[in-house]
Structures are given as C-alpha cells and as structure tokens.
C-alpha cells in the first residue's frame, strides 16, 4: 500500500507518496488547484503506474479536496494540530510529514467520509467555538454585520454556493441559473480564485454575487487570529486581482467560528453570512432529497446553502432546476446575499 501526504500552499498542492517502509515511492509533485480532478485520478492509479491503493493524509486546514478524494474511493485521514509540529501561518506542514503520518499514525487520525465531511469527529470543538463566539457575534449583529437570513416580511431569498469555483460544476450551475434568469451568490475559496480567475469573471459577468470563503477551507478553531486574517486577506487580494472588487460578505467553512477569529472582523471587514436552510447536498443523499430539503425549509428571507465545489457536486446540479422552479412557483425573488441583508455589494 502507498501513503500520500497532501500539503497546501499559496499556489496549489504539494504531494509526497511513500511506501510501507517509508521510502519515497514516487517523486514529489506539485498540482495547481485547477488540476484537482487530474490529481484525484493520479492518486487512484488511473494516471500513474499502479502500485496499490493510496491512503491520504490532509491537515485540518485543508478542506478543499477531501470530498473529491472520498468520492473517488480513496482512504482519507485528517491530521489535527495535536498530530503536527509547528506549521507556517499560511500553508501546511510538509507533505512528506503528512505522508509519514498516513503510514504510521492512521489509527490516531480521523478517517473522513463523504457523509461526515472534513469536520468529522470535531463536533465538540465546533460547538464550543460557537458557544464562546456569542459575545462577538452580538457585536457584529449590533453593527449589522452578522446574519443568518434576511427580513421575513419580503418575498426575497438568496441562493448561495460554496467552495468553488469549480471548472466543471460552476459552469453547469451558471448555465441553469441563466436558463431561469435568477441570481445567486458564490462563496469562493482563495486557492480556487487564484487558480481559476476566468471562472470568477464568468460568475460576475453573469450578474451574480461573490463572497469570501477563506483560502483553504480550514476548520477555524485550529487557526490563530493571525492565520485567519491571512486566509481572509489573501482571498480578498485574489478577488481584487481577478475582478477588481472585494466581496462584502464572508462565510466561515463549516460555519465554524471562534471569538479569536471573529474578532478579526471587527471593527471593519466583511459581514458574516451564515444560512438558515442547509440543502445537505454535500452529503450526496440524492437530487430528490436535496430538492425536498430546500423546498420544505425555505421561507421569505431564507439564505440557502448549496455547493458548486469541494467534492462531487453532480447531485447539486441535478437538483437545482427543481429547486428553482419550486421557489419561483411561490413568487419568491432571488437576490444576492448582501442585498438580502441590506449590505453594500463590495467593501
């Protein structure tokens, strides 16, 4: 069996693969964020000399590829801070260290599934962070910069897509939105914005809104305030380079947060946009279930969470026409997330 470590950096992913004895089985490789489908095929043996299945280790600060890898049938494990030594403020520990963890420490790592996602096994930390964040959230709410939904007395809703842009699924989503002449908001990750600026321009040119979703989709309780600020600022810079604007809204990966990270949104910064309708499309329960979940829970003012990146999003695409038709039948108007909250479109 082979063991792979995947590290993220400012410009993509570094990959190291070792064998059962800890020796390098393949030369180190680098992959841009636009080549994740190719990297997945390479790890599964479709595009490399097959030497046995791969077990893959990622950091908890890398939430962009686990969904793609698990959907392809790879064994994927998450390394948390207590498994790792010091890591840079922006980037992972070396890929070789992660490969060695996959080889020798899998029993201590969290095995990830498509259903559980990258947060698997961290529920206590997740809820503790939310509990401790209440005072900062109150400050953001008072300043009009924290929202889960919009006004309930107007027939408006916001459809949102996380984790893109994706070279395949984002275009499919955009085609469907254009067919029905409705708008959405795309909460993009910086690594993909940097790698796929044309896709971001395509989103903007079609009249849709943008949101900041961090650089590498980390579990925020594992970041220091400085590390979080770098994730936020680097993503804003990537947006500015791609489309000449910086989004006014931010969505934390998994909805995770801590008072230390949220404090970085004060006294100025993007508004924090959560959601009140989770489609659960990331769990891949089938297009019909995704559709019914959205239609059963949406009401005026709803902020709907879906995904166009970060995994196999075919079911999300398949569900989208029925979702849009069902919401239009209720005479609900589709608006940008920032419009729903009464915010300016950009900072």
Given 34, 125, 162, 163, which residue is catalytic?
Answer: 162
**Are 250 and 232 in contact, with CB atoms under 8 Å apart?**
yes
**3-class secondary-structure state, position 6:** strand
Query: Which residue blocks in the chain are alpha helix, DSSP H?
Result: 36-43, 66-71, 95-104, 123-132, 134-142, 169-180, 190-195, 197-205, 225-243, 259-262, 287-297, 314-328, 337-340
CA distances from residue 51 to 19, 41, 76, 331 in whole angstroms, order as listed: 9, 14, 18, 56
**3-class secondary-structure state, position 314:** helix
Given 192, 213, 217, 307, which residue is catalytic?
Answer: 307
Beta bridge partners of 159: 304
How far apart are the C-alpha atoms of 287 and 345, rounded to whole Å? 31
**What is the separation, in whole angstroms, between the first and last Cα of the chain?**
49
How far apart are the C-alpha atoms of 328 and 343, rounded to whole Å? 24
How far apart are the C-alpha atoms of 235 and 304, rounded to whole Å? 22
The question of whether 307 is a catalytic residue gets the answer yes
**Are 248 and 212 in contact, with CB atoms under 8 Å apart?**
no
Number of H helices, E strands in the chain: 13, 15
Phi then psi for residue 98, to 5 deg, are -70, -40
How far apart are the C-alpha atoms of 10 and 234, rounded to whole Å? 9
The question of whether 107 is a catalytic residue gets the answer no
The residues annotated as belonging to the active site are 162, 307
């Amino acid at each position: 069996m082979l063991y792979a470590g995947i590290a993220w950096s400012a410009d993509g992913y570094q990959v190291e693969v070792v064998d059962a004895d800890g020796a390098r089985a393949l030369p180190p490789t680098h992959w841009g964020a636009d080549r994740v489908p190719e990297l997945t095929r390479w790890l599964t043996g479709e595009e490399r000399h097959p030497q046995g299945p791969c077990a893959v280790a990622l950091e908890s600060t890398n939430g962009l590829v686990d969904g793609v890898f698990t959907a392809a049938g790879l064994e994927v494990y998450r390394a948390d801070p207590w498994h790792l030594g010091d890591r840079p403020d922006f980037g992972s520990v070396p890929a070789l260290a992660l490969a060695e963890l996959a080889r020798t420490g899998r029993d201590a790592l969290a095995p990830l599934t498509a259903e559980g996602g990258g947060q698997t096994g961290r529920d206590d930390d997740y809820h503790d962070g939310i509990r401790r964040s209440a005072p900062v959230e109150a400050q953001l709410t008072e300043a009009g910069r924290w929202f889960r939904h919009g006004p309930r007395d107007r027939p408006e809703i916001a459809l949102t897509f996380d984790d893109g842009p994706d070279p395949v699924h984002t275009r499919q989503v955009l085609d469907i939105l254009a067919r029905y002449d409705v708008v959405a908001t795309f909460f993009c990750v910086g690594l993909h914005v940097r790698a796929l600026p044309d896709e971001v321009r395509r989103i903007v040119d079609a009249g849709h809104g943008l949101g900041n979703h961090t650089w590498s989709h980390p579990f925020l309780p594992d970041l220091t305030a400085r590390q979080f600020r770098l994730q936020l600022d680097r993503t804003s810079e990537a947006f500015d380079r791609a489309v000449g604007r910086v989004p006014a809204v931010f969505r934390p990966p998994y909805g995770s947060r801590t008072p230390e990270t949220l404090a970085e949104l004060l006294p100025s910064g993007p508004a924090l946009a959560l959601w009140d309708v989770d489609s659960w499309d990331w769990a891949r329960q089938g297009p019909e279930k995704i559709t019914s979940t959205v239609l059963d829970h949406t009401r005026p003012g709803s902020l709907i969470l879906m995904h166009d990146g970060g995994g196999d999003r075919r079911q999300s695409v398949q569900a989208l026409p029925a979702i849009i038709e069902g919401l239009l039948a209720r005479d609900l108007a589709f608006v940008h997330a920032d419009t729903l909250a009464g915010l300016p479109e950009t900072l």
